[in-house]
Structure 1
Amino acid sequence: MPPTSETLTAERILEATEDVLRRHGPAKATVVDVARALGVSHGSVYRHFRTKAALREAVTKRWLDRATGMLAEIAAQDRDPEARLRDWLAALFEAKRRKAGDDPELFATYSVLTGESVTTVIEHLTELTDQLTRVVRDGIDAGTFTVADPAVAALAVFQATGRYHDPVYAQEWEQPGAEEEFTALVDLLVRGLRA
């Protein structure tokens, strides 16, 4: 294999893996394909990721984390908790829709990979509900929300909005009326948090 002029990093490997997954799909993509795309031996890839499963889990985590950072910024803002809650939910919905619409092949691939990476998905979902809990707790502290347990309320909001962020529902996200239905649901949930 030709020597590569760039230093091989985990990030470069993950980028190449994403490209290989996009081209070949999760069933046919191999570590050898990733190494070939990078111009290195497959042993070089294994030095960064000990197994194919570890590589697939890392690329899945990277994909899930792309939205998490942006959502964390919204959750941490020092402004009206209700507006933050609405913005956080809208940003989550938009991020998922963009992933599904902009790169459907890769989205389908990640739907398969998330099924393999249960621990990574659980950690991702926990991080998201922790962010929501922070917003709800801030709303309680500000007197905006009146729920007893912010973690329970945040989990309920997250689960109630699942249709707008769970990949199982991706086909529905671009249907006529989806935006309006999403807004109506968020309005209902916010009223429930205030009650």
Structure 2
Amino acid sequence: MAPTTETLTAERILEATEEVLRRHGPAKATVVDVARALGVSHGSVYRHFRTKAVLREAVTKRWLDRTALRLSAIVGQDRAPESLLREWLEALFDAKRRKAGDDPELFATFSVLADENSGVVDQHIAELTAQLTEIVRNGVARGAFTATDPALAARAVFQATGRFHDPAYASRWLRPQVRAEFDAVVDLLLRGLRAADHPAG
């Protein structure tokens, strides 16, 4: 094993782990494989991540956090709430669909890891619904939306659009009619949220 000249960081280990998972899949990938890819001993990896389970949890969180970070950039924009909500839902759908279509092996791998790490997935969903809640709450404050409980409304929106971001539905995301189906669901949700005296837009 050739010694590494770069400082071993948690981020480097996570990058290598993702590549090892892509090559070997979740069933066969080992910490030894990750260490070999980095040119270090497996003990060096364990100094950053004390068990294989902790490493797999961390790489799952890193993968999910990329989507959450991209979506958070939309939330704070000063735009019409309806437009903001539609863009946020589109960005979530597009991010998931890109991951499934561009790298299906890695997407399948992370779907397995997500099932193993339900706590990480729960945190991810909580973060996404918090972003949605902020959009809905802002819409209510601006008179665009009507919702007595913005958090409850946000959870309902998230659940109603589940077939466009839940990995269980990934096989349907490449069907030709999926975009029209997505638009129809979002239009229906926006009509339900829209304040009676507020024009569409």
Q: Which TM bucket (shorter chain)? A: over 0.9
Q: Does 1:21 align with 2:21?
A: yes
Q: Please give the TM-score of this superposition, normalised by the length of structure 1.
A: 0.99
Task: For 2:189 and 2:27, locate their aligned partners in 1 and report how far apart those are by CA, in whole Å.
Answer: 40
Match of 2:68 in 1: 68
Unaligned stretches of 5+ residues in structure 2: 197-201
CA deviation map 1:121-144 (0-9, x unaligned): 000000000000000000000000
Letter in 2 for 1:47: R
CA deviation map 1:59-82 (0-9, x unaligned): 000000111011011011111111
- 3-state SS in 2 of match to 1:64: helix
1:115-126 correspondence runs (5 A): 115-126=115-126
Task: For 2:93 and 2:52, locate their aligned partners in 1 and report how far apart those are by CA, in whole Å.
Answer: 31
CA deviation map 1:49-105 (0-9, x unaligned): 010000000000000011101101101111111111000000000000000011000
- Over the aligned positions, Cα root-mean-square deviation in angstroms equals 0.6
1:18-167 correspondence runs (5 A): 18-167=18-167
Give the aligned length. 195
Structure 1 residue runs of 4+, over 4 Å off? none
Task: For 1:140 and 1:21, locate their aligned partners in 2 and report how far apart those are by CA, in whole Å.
Answer: 44
CA deviation map 1:160-195 (0-9, x unaligned): 000000000000001011001100100000000015
Letter in 1 for 2:15: E
Match of 2:4 in 1: 4
Task: For 2:99 and 2:146, locate their aligned partners in 1 and report how far apart those are by CA, in whole Å.
Answer: 35
Unaligned stretches of 5+ residues in structure 1: none
- 3-state SS in 1 of match to 2:27: coil
Task: For 2:103 and 2:149, locate their aligned partners in 1 and report how far apart those are by CA, in whole Å.
Answer: 38
Report percent identity of matched pairs.
Answer: 72
Task: For 1:47 and 1:80, locate their aligned partners in 2 and report how far apart those are by CA, in whole Å.
Answer: 48
Task: For 2:12 and 2:37, locate their aligned partners in 1 and report how far apart those are by CA, in whole Å.
Answer: 10
Match of 2:199 in 1: none
- 3-state SS in 1 of match to 2:28: coil
